[in-house]
């Protein structure tokens, strides 16, 4: 994920950005990225060659998608762009906010992964959809991949992390919705950072994320000008039908 609003960015994307690939390993995204690729291929009228990713974060999906598309990666965080550039030096990287960036060019397809979760109001969500629509070629498609919609959200806990060559990281994740009447929920992280063999420190990090009903997604996509569609996100590690992604097809002019 990547922060896409003007509040202070979570540590994951700022002070601790150089640990990011020990939180989430690019190799773990191969199956997921292939699902997104196939979904875009099916949604576009013509074979897509250029892909704009908004909120590209550390470049995990891009590390796989770059084998099939000419990628332009946009993210708000300069720290995340730096680590993505190291992972994906052949891709174009641009600092920008998915709600407002304007590149003055068109792409065969547009992709917004779970960075879209940092949009916590319908106004901001619609603004990101407008950015995607403006940059999408007629006959192309935009894919939005939220972690959850309101109907699928469940409080949860999780843990993970990876070992590097000279350091390691582990995290605990706690997801709750303190106020179900609003459009946000909270994910708190505890990071355990280990340098070498002895030095260990613990950091905490809070992420405020947006949550919207399916119909809100579909209605906002239609208002933006897309032909909206919801499809089930299928992954070998997830229950069938437990998550959805949204496709916006842009009609030929």
Q: Is 114 exposed, middle or buried (0-12, 13-18, 19+ CB in 10 A)?
A: middle
Count of positions (residues) in the chain:
253
Q: What is the pLDDT of residues 62-110, one digit of tens each?
A: 999 999 999 999 999 999 999 999 999 999 999 999 999 999 999 999 9
Question: For the chain, what percent of residues have pLDDT higher than 90?
Answer: 89
pLDDT beyond 80 at 113: yes
User: Chain-wide mean pLDDT for the chain?
Assistant: 94
User: Average pLDDT for residues 30-38, to the nearest whole number?
Assistant: 97
- The predicted model gives 32-43 an average pLDDT of 97
Nearest to 211 by CA among 110, 116, 100, 123: 116
Contacts of 127 (CB under 8 A, 6+ apart): 99, 100, 119
pLDDT of residue 8: 67
Residue 183, pLDDT > 50, answer yes
Read off the pLDDT of residues 217-231 as tens digits, 9 standing for 90 and up.
999 999 999 999 999
Q: Does pLDDT of 213 surpass 50? A: yes
Q: Could you tell me the domains of the chain?
A: 11-148+213-249 (3.40.50.150), 156-210 (2.20.130.10)
DSSP string spanning 205-253? Answer: EEEEEE---HHHHHHHHHHHT-EEEEEE---TTS-TTS-EEEEEEPPP-
């Amino acid at each position: 994920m990547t922060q896409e609003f003007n509040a202070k960015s979570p540590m994951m994307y700022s002070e601790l950005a150089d640990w990011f690939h020990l939180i989430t390993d690019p190799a773990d995204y191969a199956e997921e990225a292939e699902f997104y690729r196939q979904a875009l291929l099916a949604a576009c009228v013509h074979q897509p060659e250029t892909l704009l990713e908004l909120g590209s974060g550390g470049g995990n999906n891009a590390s796989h998608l770059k084998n099939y598309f000419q990628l332009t990666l946009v993210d708000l965080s300069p720290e995340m762009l730096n680590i993505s550039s190291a992972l994906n030096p052949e891709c174009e990287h641009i600092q920008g906010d998915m709600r407002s960036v304007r590149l003055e060019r068109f792409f065969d397809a547009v992709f917004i992964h779970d960075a879209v979760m940092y949009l916590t109001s319908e106004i901001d969500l619609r603004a990101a959809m407008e950015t995607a629509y403006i940059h999408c070629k007629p006959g192309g498609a935009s894919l939005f991949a939220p972690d959850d919609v309101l109907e699928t959200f469940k409080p949860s806990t999780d843990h993970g992390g990876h070992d590097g060559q000279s350091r390691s990281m582990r995290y605990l994740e706690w997801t709750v919705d303190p106020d179900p009447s609003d459009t946000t929920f909270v994910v708190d992280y505890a990071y355990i950072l280990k340098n070498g063999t002895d030095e260990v420190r613990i950091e905490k990090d809070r992420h405020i994320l947006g949550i919207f009903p399916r119909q809100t997604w579909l209605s906002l996509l239609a208002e933006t000008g897309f032909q909206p569609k919801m499809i089930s996100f299928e992954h070998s590690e997830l229950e069938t039908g437990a998550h959805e992604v949204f496709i916006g097809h842009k009609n030929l002019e």
